[in-house]
Structure 1
């Protein structure tokens, strides 16, 4: 890829990485409840899901998802239901009185956090749209595979940077929250946002082809 193309792709890509959505909300929540390191490790689940999506898009299968109303609806509704379920669970969670910004809650594990990140990323059909509609705008036709690979690597690196930023913000927020009542309201706000994302996803329409 040319330097000019990269200078256009990187800032546009990072804007997509930083967009506030379900996965970045998870990083914020994990940072506040479990600490920065846990939130970053948990994002491995998200990055793995994106690797799969990039490969699918690279071999052309992503176009099938975007053109098939049935496949799009199945993925969309599964993702929406899962987001609403997570949101309700978080909304109803009773938090301990002490700050948990640097400690794990007893009913959570890194595997649980990674699994949630993976499912949330996989359940959003709009995510693969990034790789099937956004990436091709920067593809060099005479070096298709190389271009897609470079953009995929850059996307994952920038996604990891976005995770770290949201995790740090969450950890800072958690460090200032000391009371059970404050955590309860954070859980209610986070849960409500997650439910909102689920409802918005449920009403999302397949992009016009």
Structure 2
């Protein structure tokens, strides 16, 4: 992989990493409610699904899934339902003044939530299927190239999680119980909207 290829891949890839999707919005919310390190740890839940998806695309199965309407729709609707469920739970959460504490799920719960949202979004495989081949040299072995591109993607994804968690943590001192409740509702509403958008969206 040449330096010219890297110079094109890194900024284009980071633009995908930093986009405000459901996983990143949750990292911001967790950082705002629980602090930077909890937001960062919770956001690591997406890494295993993304690594698996990159591996699937790397061995050629991504193209098969991308062309299977049934498999794509099964994953899409399951992911949409989970997004709506999580959003509804956050929307319905009681204000801090009533519970005596902010939402304090164990970190393992936050990691699992991030994992399930990531694995329930089939568009990630579609992105890897369409995006990574643009930066590969077909005259060279593909496995090492996908490993390098995948490693860069995951590293940039960690950076995106850190930025969202840190940005959320910067607001932590400003969050009164009423503002925290509005934040939960705002994030919940965003997730519900994302779930319906995912369910209604056509396959790319």
Please give the range of the TM-score, normalised by the shorter of the 2 chains. Answer: over 0.9
Per-residue Cα deviation, 1:165-191 (whole angstroms, up to 9, x for no partner): 00011111222112x221111111111
User: Could you list the runs of 4 or more consecutive aligned residues of structure 1 that deviate by over 2 angstroms after TM superposition?
Assistant: 103-106
How far apart in 2 are the matches of 1:170 and 1:17? 17
Per-residue Cα deviation, 1:87-143 (whole angstroms, up to 9, x for no partner): 00001112324xx9xx9744x111101100000000001111121110000011113
Are 2:107 and 1:110 aligned? Answer: yes
How far apart in 2 are the matches of 1:43 and 1:25? 10
Aligned residues: 202
Corresponding position of 2:171:
173
Corresponding position of 1:191:
188
Corresponding position of 1:72:
72
How far apart in 2 are the matches of 1:122 and 1:203? 18
Give me the CA root mean square deviation. 1.7
Q: TM-score, normalised by structure 1?
A: 0.92
Corresponding position of 2:53:
53
- Structure 1: which 5+ runs fail to align? none
Map 1:5-16 → 2, pairs under 5 A: 5-16=5-16
Are 2:85 and 1:88 aligned? Answer: no
Are 2:38 and 1:38 aligned? Answer: yes
Give 3-state SS (helix, strand or coil) of 1:148's partner.
helix
- Structure 2: which 5+ runs fail to align? none
Per-residue Cα deviation, 1:1-56 (whole angstroms, up to 9, x for no partner): 00000000000000000001011011011111111101111122101111111111
Are 2:180 and 1:206 aligned? Answer: no
Q: TM-score, normalised by structure 2?
A: 0.94
